[in-house]
Amino acid sequence: MKMNLPVKQKKNTILILAITAIVLGALVAWATGLLPLPGRTTKAPPAPAAAPPAAPVSVAPALEELVTEWDDFSGRVRAIDRVEIRPQVSGIIVAVHFANGQLVKKGDLLFTIDPRPFQAESARAEAVLAGTQARVVLAQNNLDRSNRLLATHAIARNEHDQEDDALLEANANLKAAQAAVQTAQLNVEYTAIQAPVSGRVSRAEITVGNLVGAGVTAPLLTTIVSVSPVYVEFETDEQTYLKYSANGAQGNSGIDRIPVWMGLANEDGYPHQGRLESIDNQLDTTSGTIRMRAIFDNATGALTPGLYAKVRAGGSAAETAVLVDDRAVGTDQDKKYVMVVSPDNKVAYRGVTLGPIVNGLRIVRSGLAKGERIVVNGLQRVKPSEVIAPVEVSMNRDAGTVTGGKLAAVNAR
């Protein structure tokens, strides 16, 4: 049976349904956050954080120059001539004719040994020589007379032969007497001990009044070392020797192609120029090195034998090479690298192969080209793909040490 509701009741029902729908919609909106809850205000979403400013880093372009690669060695100054002065005759030293450390010339008198015993022996030998000469004359006369008598058969052949033998014996005695005189005269000369070479003499090890002996056990009187020129000897490893050989220096052939410079321990750099004098004929298998010897002028006498010497030798002809400050090179385990800066100031990792340092800059054999910009200071503060604020500096020993301004503040951190 169908019920018919009054019109007023129908309108109330529709109104209730509409209000219910509105309330439900509001609840859904509050639940989803589309509408704020009563008594609360809405907030705008936070703005994204600003990127940090790019770090200022000193940057310099790689150089390309004509350089000669040098090899550094440690050596010693050696005298070309070194002579130990020892007595050749026994006797008492009666005079010392030099001051300790004096420069002497070849032939200068150094010591005098009492010559009187040897002068007496020389006089005796000369007297013996004179008597021997007289006997030679007598033997010659006897032989001449014997020859005349033999021609007339006045004497027997054996008597003639005896006279002949007597002359031969007299001549032999004459030679012995002459040798004795020469020996005696040499002994007299040996009492005046002279400098066999020019150079600087050491101190007198034995002074006036002392008796000295001769022979293999003769005492050392003093030493003389030549002053100019001098040798500088040093050892080089097998690889360096092979490099020199490849450039034409083997033994004593082609060694003039290798420039050599030297400095003493208290000198800056290598102020003395010399030339390579010889390369040894074999490699020492124990140390794996071969000995080389250079010769240097020493007109001032500053290069004293025995001094330590820093030696720098040029192993190759001058060639173009890429050069960077050594501080721009980093180490990654067993690899070397630099940080290259692109035109848009982004940093990139680049592995490189290095050579020696020349004039304060490091040679880069591969991995870097002329003009490429690299980080030269603050290498630890940058990372690959990072954008930096480059500060241009020169590629030299003072790269990155600009004082004042932004870069100085960065370096001080």
Name which residue leads in pLDDT, 41 or 304.
304
Q: What is the CATH number of the domain that holds 348?
A: 2.40.420.20
Whether residue 305 is found in the same domain as residue 337: no
Q: What is the CATH number of the domain that holds 266?
A: 2.40.30.170
**Buried b / exposed e along 329-345 (16+ C-beta atoms within 10 A):** beeeeeebbbbbbeeee
What whole-number distance in Å separates Cα of residue 47 and Cα of residue 339?
A: 34
What is the pLDDT at residue 412?
29
Domain assignment of residue 5, given as a range: 1-36
Name which residue leads in pLDDT, 187 or 252.
187
pTM strictly above 0.75? no
Burial (Cβ within 10 Å: 0-12, 13-18, ≥19) of residue 207: exposed
Does the residue 101 lie in any domain?
no
Among 150-154, 192-196, 211-215, 328-332, the range scoring the smallest mean pLDDT is 150-154
CA–chain centroid gap for 38, Å, is 89
Whether residue 353 is found in the same domain as residue 300: no
Following CA atoms 202, 203, 206, 207 in sequence, which dihedral angle do they give, to the nearest 10 degrees?
A: 130
Domain boundary among 280, 314, 348: 314
Per-residue pLDDT at 410 exceeds 80: no
Whether residue 338 is found in the same domain as residue 387: yes
Calculate ∠ Cα 162-167-169, nearest 5°.
90
Does the residue 210 lie in any domain?
no
Q: What is the CATH number of the domain that holds 148?
A: 1.10.287.470
Whether residue 234 is found in the same domain as residue 170: no
Name which residue leads in pLDDT, 384 or 400.
384
Does the residue 169 lie in any domain?
yes
Whether residue 288 is found in the same domain as residue 371: no
How many folded domains does the chain comprise? 4
Whether residue 230 is found in the same domain as residue 292: yes
Whether residue 169 is found in the same domain as residue 240: no
Domain boundary among 174, 190, 206: 190
Burial (Cβ within 10 Å: 0-12, 13-18, ≥19) of residue 283: middle
Element (H, E) at 154: none
Does the residue 107 lie in any domain?
no
Whether residue 305 is found in the same domain as residue 330: no
Domain boundary among 146, 173, 190: 190
Does the residue 242 lie in any domain?
yes
Residues 6+ apart with CB under 8 A from 114: 91, 92, 93, 94, 191
Does the residue 339 lie in any domain?
yes
Whether residue 299 is found in the same domain as residue 338: no
**How is residue 31 annotated by DSSP?**
H
Whether residue 337 is found in the same domain as residue 304: no
CA–chain centroid gap for 25, Å, is 93
What whole-number distance in Å separates Cα of residue 6 and Cα of residue 153?
A: 208
Does the residue 211 lie in any domain?
no
Average pLDDT, the chain: 84
What is the pLDDT at residue 306?
93
Per-residue pLDDT at 55 exceeds 90: no
Per-residue pLDDT at 6 exceeds 70: no
Q: Which residue has the tokens 């005695």?
A: 173
By C-alpha distance, which of 329, 379, 378 is closest to 357?
A: 329
Residue % of the chain over a pLDDT of 90: 50
What is the pLDDT at residue 161?
87
What whole-number distance in Å separates Cα of residue 51 and Cα of residue 62?
A: 31
Does the residue 304 lie in any domain?
yes
Q: HSE of 25 in the Cβ direction (CA atoms, 13 Å)?
A: 6
**254-288 confidence digits (pLDDT tens):** 677 788 999 999 998 899 999 888 888 889 999 99
What is the pLDDT at residue 83?
95
Whether residue 144 is found in the same domain as residue 181: yes
| CA-based radius of gyration for the chain | 51
What whole-number distance in Å separates Cα of residue 240 and Cα of residue 276?
A: 15
Residues 6+ apart with CB under 8 A from 203: 100, 101, 222
